[in-house]
Chain A
Amino acid sequence: MRERKSVKFNLQKQEHQNGHLSPFKVAKLFDPDASWDKDQLGDVLHWIRQSLALVCGLLWGAIPLVGGIWFILFLLLSSGIIYAYYALVLKIDEEDFGGHGALLQEGLFASISLFLLTWILVYSLGHF
């Protein structure tokens, strides 16, 4: 048992140094008992936001959804999903990571730009 734990620790250390995605790292994304570094968590939240921006932009543009209200809805949806992820799935204590504000603003500006870009492009190219 002790050997398995030390092997697991060494594997974790090596993967953290290499920075490569692995099944072990993917499992950590849904593990409420995993310990998180501020940078690691920030990066994960950033990429989740970008993925949401891309998906929503593609969807909103394809349907199409028209009107400023859908922009507001995207903001609420993406922030809600991020909050649900770190508070309910990861069960993070936000005080250890700078509070809700710091966590919710990770990748926010880039995701808004990406969302608008995708929405505008798909809408323009798909419906005109």
Chain B
Amino acid sequence: MSSTLFSNMKYSDSLTVVGISICTAIVCEAISWLLIYRTSSYKSLKSTIDKASKKLETMKTTDPNTATIIKKSKTKKIDRVESSLKESSRDLSMFKFKSGGVVALVLFMVFGLLNSLFEGKAVAKIPFVPIKLVQKMSHRGLSGDDMTDCSMAFLYFLCSISIRTNLQKFLGFSPPRGAAGAGLFPMPDPKSN
């Protein structure tokens, strides 16, 4: 009965894309765990970054009573901890980059598979007309002028971001906040102004 229900839906292919994305996310995290997260190098780097971030936060909290006298030496210490944090973050990125090649290969292969299955086919309907920049992805490979037709690439992109990010968060594999820097929308560094 459920298979008849799904086959009657015009955009049932979207469920296939989501299902494959979920499986891919799980496989990628499993590979990442095997090659990255369970290694002692990663654990020690993460611990170093966490400790340095917390130390930096504590040091940046100024005590108004002693601010003027110790300012110079404290600034030097802060600079040292910040450099050490940047170095550890860079090492972590390099470490993950080297091992992430396998994950990238899996993602590439899955994208190729999905592309071969759904090329030129609208897998979903977008409930609004996306901006021109997004249309390049959302209408990729589709014929016609209806910009609300959704290509596999766009749906797969949304699945990858939402499912992988939350899966990483849930499993505790997210990068440490100190290493992530200021996040998606970085705030300007007041020191550089």
Asked if B15 contacts A125 (CB within 8 A), the reply is: yes
Are the CB atoms of A124 and B162 closer together than 8 Å?
A: no
Interface flags for A42-67 (1: CB within 8 Å of B; 0: not) read 11001100100000000011001111
A110:B165 contact, CB within 8 angstroms = yes
Contact flags B145-181 to A (C-beta < 8 A → 1, else 0): 0000010000100110110011001000000010000
A102 vs B125: C-alpha distance in the bound complex, in angstroms? 33
Say yes or no: B125 contacts A99, CB within 8 Å.
no
CB contacts (< 8 Å) of A123 on chain B: these are: 125-127
State whether A113 and B161 are in contact (beta carbons under 8 Å apart), knowing that A39-B177, A46-B169, A105-B185 are contacts in the complex: yes
A interface list, Cβ under 8 A from B: 38-39, 42-43, 46-47, 50, 60-61, 64-68, 70-71, 99, 101-102, 105-110, 113-114, 116-117, 119-121, 123-125, 127-128
Are A68 and B128 in touch, CB under 8 angstroms? yes
Q: From the candidates B9, B159, B166, name the one contacting A128 in the complex (CB within 8 A).
A: B9
Q: Interface of chain A, helix or strand or loop or mixed?
A: helix
* Contact indicator B127/A61 (Cβ below 8 Å): yes
- Taking the complex as formed, is B187 at the interface, i.e. its CB lies under 8 A from any CB of chain A? yes
Partner-A contacts on B (CB < 8 A) = 9-12, 14-15, 18, 57, 124-129, 150, 155, 158-159, 161-162, 165-166, 169, 177, 182-185, 187
Complex CA distance for A125 and B125, rounded to whole angstroms: 9
Contact status of A120 and B177, CB under 8 A, knowing A102-B182, A128-B11: no
A50–B150 Cα distance when bound, in Å, is: 23
Q: How far is the CA of A127 from the CA of B11 in the complex (A)?
A: 10
* Chain B residues, Cβ within 8 Å of A43: 169
* Docked-complex contact A101 and B185, CB < 8 angstroms: yes
Question: Which of A39, A50, A119, A124 has the most chain B CB within a 10 Å cutoff?
Answer: A124
